[in-house]
Amino acid sequence: MEILNILEIIEKKRDKKELTKKEIEYFIQGYTKGTIKDYQASALLMAIYLNGMTPEETTNLSIAMANSGEILDLNKEGKIFVDKHSTGGVGDKVSLILLPLVASLGVPVAKMSGRGLGFTGGTADKLESIPGYKTEISIEEFIKNIEKIGISMITQTGNLAPADKKIYSLRDSIACVESIPLIASSIMSKKIASGAQKIVLDVTVGDGAFMKNLQDAKKLSKTMIEIGKLAGRETVCILTNMDEPLGYAVGNNLEVIEAIKALNGQMPEDVKEVVLELGAYMLKLANLGDNIDQNKEKLLENIKNKKAIEKFKELVQNQGGDVSYIEDTSKFEKAKIVKEVKASKCGKLLNIPAKEIGKLACFLGAGRINKEDIIDNSVGIVLNKKVGDKVEKGETLAYIYTNDEKKAEKVCEDIEEVIEIGEENVNVKYIYEVLTE
């Protein structure tokens, strides 16, 4: 019998050699159980980050991570489950809007969301900003909720892809997030474990995404589509723009409020395009309509007739949340200080760099700098303009929500510095491409 040893596995990857399926399984099982330590896993992850993985290694890693815990089989429910995941962004409240919306059209939703990672936000943190909402429930309750109302949104819970849960937070603390094999395996292991037969992925591209250019985003997409094929899960990737924050709000309560407004029909243009494109493909994969334009009409109709917001309320109530906050968003806790950042000149908005805005929101307390940091749900940034908009001198560019006067000053100064105003024409595209293979 071959005796495996973590030091030899690290050494192999350090020296740019290919790991076998057995070696990858040994690492994942050992790290999940705790026999392989954080410092050893850190070394291996950094070696993977620096030297990459072959498609075969990436697939083996994804499957080993999915197999580190239970794999749900939602098939037996007799319906087609379509899952959705984003590769991460700033101001990304798409899941909060899209998932109740498609559930209101009959697509069953079993969604396991992540927490904030690096400068990006996490849907689980946003949901928890609704008082009482429980993201950590048992798998039995998760399934029961889906049976009862057709949707449940939770965090990575119990025994679903536990290897990813550990690796995800370790990567965040050792600067190993932006890696194609690590992102692909993280996302696909969770998607395989949570049982959906079909998957729609929002692959974000640009300054506030982990993939900075279209070429890398396509490579990541093709890797995930390939893993999906091998695991028998049809996967569609939609490449979307993440150069500026999505919508206007960045920060937990602030984003939930923006999502509630969207479900009530007030959707910023970029949010609307992304929600409709992803939603139309989710309906298609669920066999609820092949025509993408007609699917978009169906989605818009369920916003108009309030079925989507009603489904969101049902979801919140079912998970223990206080629905009165959804009915009256003025109940959400507010930051004590609100400062305005004004434009120092007139012109057009050329750039609102998402990563800087995400980092500043984290600095205000909207995200975690260290794993154990506690998020302040009330703080963040609300933009008053989007790229391409005209601005007059003295007009408000953004509102800063904070509980700390000193932080407010710094963020105001930094935001003014990073937002670019000029005379050039800008052509903004929110959806770049849809990849199915």
The smaller minimum CB distance to ligand URA, of residues 184 and 263, is found at 184
Beta carbon of residue 274, minimum distance to ligand URA (angstroms, whole number): 16
The smaller minimum CB distance to ligand URA, of residues 222 and 307, is found at 222
Q: What's the Cα-to-Cα distance from 144 to each of 73, 93, 109, 191, 416, rounded to whole Å?
A: 14, 25, 12, 19, 49
> Which one of 5-13, 34-42, 178-186, 248-256 is the stretch in contact with ligand URA (CB under 6 A)?
178-186
Task: Return d(Cα 416, Cα 397) in angstroms, integer.
Answer: 8
Q: Is 297 helix (H, G, I), strand (E, B) or coil?
A: helix
Ranked by CB distance to ligand URA, the top (closest) residue is 186
Should residue 186 be labelled a site residue for ligand URA when binding is judged by CB under 6 A?
Answer: yes
239, 246 Cβ separation under 8 angstroms: no
The smaller minimum CB distance to ligand URA, of residues 104 and 235, is found at 235
Among 105, 137, 146, 183, binds ligand URA (CB under 6 A): 183
**What secondary structure does DSSP assign to 41-77, as a single string?**
HHHHHHHHHHH---HHHHHHHHHHHHTTS----GGGG
Among 59, 67, 68, 87, binds ligand URA (CB under 6 A): 87
Beta carbon of residue 183, minimum distance to ligand URA (angstroms, whole number): 4
Q: What's the Cα-to-Cα distance from 329 to each of 129, 160, 175, 324, 333, rounded to whole Å?
A: 12, 33, 36, 8, 9
Beta carbon of residue 182, minimum distance to ligand URA (angstroms, whole number): 6
Residues 286-345 that bind ligand URA (CB under 6 A): none
Nearest CA among 225, 317, 309, 320 for reference residue 265: 309
Among 88, 279, 367, 380, binds ligand URA (CB under 6 A): 88
The smaller minimum CB distance to ligand URA, of residues 182 and 200, is found at 182
97, 167 Cβ separation under 8 angstroms: no
Should residue 162 be labelled a site residue for ligand URA when binding is judged by CB under 6 A?
Answer: no
Take residue 186 and report the two structure tokens written for it: 């993280």
Angle at 177 between CA 29 and CA 202, to 5 degrees: 100
83, 198 Cβ separation under 8 angstroms: yes
Give φ, ψ of 34 to 5 degrees: 100, 0
Among 72, 187, 246, 383, binds ligand URA (CB under 6 A): 187
Q: What residue type is 315 in one-letter code?
A: L
Task: Return d(Cα 266, Cα 245) in angstroms, integer.
Answer: 17
Nearest CA among 156, 165, 124, 158 for reference residue 41: 165
Beta carbon of residue 330, minimum distance to ligand URA (angstroms, whole number): 32
Among 91, 100, 108, 114, binds ligand URA (CB under 6 A): 114
Residues 385-424 that bind ligand URA (CB under 6 A): none
Q: Which residue has the tokens 């089989």?
A: 73
Should residue 380 be labelled a site residue for ligand URA when binding is judged by CB under 6 A?
Answer: no
- List the catalytic residues: 85, 164, 171, 186, 190
> Which one of 182-190, 222-230, 369-377, 398-406 is the stretch in contact with ligand URA (CB under 6 A)?
182-190
> Which one of 181-189, 232-240, 322-330, 337-345 is the stretch in contact with ligand URA (CB under 6 A)?
181-189
The smaller minimum CB distance to ligand URA, of residues 11 and 70, is found at 70
344, 393 Cβ separation under 8 angstroms: yes
**Applying CB under 6 A, which residues contact ligand URA?**
87-88, 114, 117, 168, 182-183, 186-187
